[in-house]
């Protein structure tokens, strides 16, 4: 009775290279090598699964990687929504709140003040009283997150203008209107007399993302001022606070940065995106910054230390005033705290970098992780490829989060998507190609179980029959680059030349040696392992068991 024995031949990469027998240099081995050379032509006509599966899966992996790169460049709305949510997740659920390091205090127009002073908006005389109190405390700068576009009365408006001029450190707010293309169509500010008396102006425009969350702030807006149409730059309210606190006298914009200077001295280089917007590094939810009540300042119930030499923001925190913004930390954050966060980012230099360098890193990771996933798919069985790819994705997510803690925002969505697509498409390509190869090889094994093609090669040991004689010889051959299965006659010497069935080839092949009737080899997956394990025919009624281990005998 003939016994099936497995042997493997690896591609010899040069023309005219002869395969060498890797067993002992016995007469039987030479006879088998001669028999192999005699049937080389038949072997060459075997199924060409040689590099087909790898090339097809490589092509599919390349398609998946290029597709994800294109989606990244086009900023696909669906994937960008997940990226934005991952940005919020990093703030709220992973990093959490951070301590405030800048000299910032908020004077709140809160429910307590409204209850004491009456319905809001108040008469401007209340702001005159506030500025008189602050003049004695001497804050570094006072930033109004309110504006006065219409006259109240000549007497009151003049009194407020005189108070602004005496203080000399008050910045009034302005807001801009835009058309669908993002061009400025109008500006709303305070009365010209009040703006002339103030120390500066800052815009309070907060443009939320499509999901309503405020993640960035335009640090400057270019507009045409007055009938003359002169082009001007207006800084954001938070940037105005930083200019006063740093003692700067000028600022400007360049690609991916806004600089702040005093004379020739560069004070800050603020990273911005391509639109000139700062990604806001929120320190926490509502109440992250020291807050005092408007009415408490008027009544002298506030410790002056909380306001002296500080950047003091004045704005509404009462829900009824409807100046609430959605941030990654909280859906009801007062707008004045968003402006305070911008100032804090610049003063403490705790930025979120999302510029051209981070985009290049994202593209590199899409390519690297995509092709690593393809390599896992091509080299490992599915049961191992999936955990390997998931582990790779988890490792990258940890890297992305670690970079976020250092102020670098890299994508948490696009590289994992590239990995999953490479796994799915690359695995599908391998499966389809090997299915075709198995179909071509099926006539070579008429008595084999169909499911045996999925059986994997594992390290095996030859079993001896009764009487101490080995049941067959296994050899590994290199012959014209063809992998094949070899059927040998019982016994060490064997009869005629062995019969071979070509299966596949490639660099990944088990090494084996014949040593006293023993065969040692590496684990090998795919078609070769299945064919090697399928030495005996199926018994009647046998169930198909994919993943069964190869055995001798």
| pLDDT, tens digit (0-9, with 9 covering 90-100), for 190-203 | 999 999 999 999 99
Does residue 41 carry a pLDDT above 80? Answer: no
Structure tokens at 344: 């804090």
346: which DSSP letter? H
- Supply the mean pLDDT for the chain: 74
Dist CA 342 CA 171 (whole Å): 15
Dist CA 204 CA 199 (whole Å): 16
pLDDT at residue 323, rounded to an integer: 84
**Residue 121 CB neighbours (<10 A):** 13
Does residue 273 carry a pLDDT above 50? Answer: yes
To 5 degrees, how large is the angle CA 541–CA 545–CA 548? Answer: 130
Closest CA to 462 of 5, 9, 28, 25: 5
Q: pLDDT band for position 514 (50/70/90)?
A: very low
Q: For residue 287, is it left (φ>0), alpha (ψ between -120 and 50) or beta?
A: left
pLDDT tens-digit map of 316-338: 999 888 788 999 988 889 999 99
Dist CA 530 CA 504 (whole Å): 12
SS3 450: helix
Dist CA 401 CA 406 (whole Å): 9
pTM for the structure as a whole: 0.68
Q: pLDDT band for position 295 (50/70/90)?
A: very high
Q: What is the DSSP string of 156-180?
A: HHHHHHHHHHHH--EEEEEEEEE-T
pLDDT at residue 424, rounded to an integer: 79
Dist CA 39 CA 86 (whole Å): 61
CB 513 within 8 A of CB 520: yes
CB 477 within 8 A of CB 22: yes
pLDDT at residue 303, rounded to an integer: 92
Tell the residue number behind the tokens 């071509």, with chain if given: 440
CB 340 within 8 A of CB 104: yes
Q: What is the dihedral of CA 352, 353, 354, 357, to 10 degrees?
A: -170
Structure tokens at 255: 């690609």
Backbone angles phi, psi at 276, to 5 degrees: 80, 20
**H-helix or E-strand containing 249?**
none
């Amino acid at each position: 009775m003939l016994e099936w024995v497995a042997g493997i031949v690896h591609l010899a990469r040069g023309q005219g290279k002869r395969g060498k027998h890797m067993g002992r240099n016995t007469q039987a081995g030479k006879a088998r090598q001669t028999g192999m050379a005699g049937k080389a032509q038949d072997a060459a006509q075997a199924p060409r699964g040689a590099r087909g599966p790898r090339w097809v899966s490589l092509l599919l992996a390349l398609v998946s990687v290029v597709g994800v790169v294109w989606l990244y460049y086009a900023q696909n709305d669906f994937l960008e929504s997940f990226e934005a949510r991952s940005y919020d997740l990093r703030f709220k659920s992973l990093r959490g709140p951070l301590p405030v390091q800048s000299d910032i205090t908020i004077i709140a127009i809160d429910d307590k003040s409204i209850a004491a002073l009456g319905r809001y908006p108040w008469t401007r005389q209340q702001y005159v009283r506030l500025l008189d109190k602050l003049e004695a405390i001497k804050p570094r700068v006072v930033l109004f997150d309110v504006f006065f576009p219409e006259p109240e009365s000549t007497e009151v408006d003049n009194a407020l203008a005189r108070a602004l001029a005496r203080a000399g450190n008050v910045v009034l707010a302005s807001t801009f209107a835009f058309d669908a293309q993002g061009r400025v169509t109008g500006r709303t500010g305070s009365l010209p007399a009040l703006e002339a008396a103030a120390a500066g102006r800052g815009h309070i425009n907060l443009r939320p993302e499509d999901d309503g969350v405020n993640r960035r702030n335009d640090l400057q807006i270019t507009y045409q001022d007055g009938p003359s149409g002169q082009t001007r730059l207006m800084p954001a309210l938070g940037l105005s606070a930083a200019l006063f606190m740093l003692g700067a006298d000028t600022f400007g914009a360049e690609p991916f940065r806004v600089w702040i200077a005093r004379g020739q001295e560069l004070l800050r280089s603020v990273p911005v995106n391509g639109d000139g917007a700062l990604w806001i590094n929120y320190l926490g939810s509502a109440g992250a910054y020291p807050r005092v009540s408007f009415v408490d300042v008027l009544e002298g119930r506030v410790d002056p230390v909380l306001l002296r030499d500080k950047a003091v923001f004045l704005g509404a925190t009462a829900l009824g005033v409807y100046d609430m913004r959605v941030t990654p930390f909280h859906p009801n954050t007062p707008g004045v705290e968003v402006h305070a966060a911008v100032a804090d980012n610049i003063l403490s230099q705790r930025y979120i970098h999302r510029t051209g360098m981070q985009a290049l890193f994202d593209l590199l990771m899409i390519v690297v992780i995509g092709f690593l996933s393809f390599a896992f798919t091509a080299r490992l069985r599915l049961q191992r490829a999936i955990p390997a790819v998931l582990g790779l994705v988890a490792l990258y997510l940890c890297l992305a989060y670690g970079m976020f803690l250092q102020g670098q925002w890299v994508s948490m969505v696009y590289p994992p998507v590239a990995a999953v697509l490479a796994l799915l498409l690359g695995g599908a390509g391998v499966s389809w190609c090997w299915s075709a190869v198995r179909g071509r090889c099926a006539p070579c094994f008429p008595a084999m179980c169909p499911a045996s093609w999925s059986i994997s090669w594992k390290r095996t040991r030859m079993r001896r029959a009764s009487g101490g004689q080995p049941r067959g010889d296994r050899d590994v051959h290199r012959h014209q680059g063809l992998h094949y299965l070899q059927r040998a006659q019982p016994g060490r010497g064997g009869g005629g030349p062995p019969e071979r069935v070509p299966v596949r080839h490639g660099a990944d092949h088990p090494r084996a040696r014949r040593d006293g009737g023993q065969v040692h080899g590496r684990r090998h997956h795919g078609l070769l392992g299945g064919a090697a394990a399928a030495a005996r025919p199926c018994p009647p009624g046998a169930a198909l068991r994919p993943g069964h281990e190869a055995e001798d005998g």
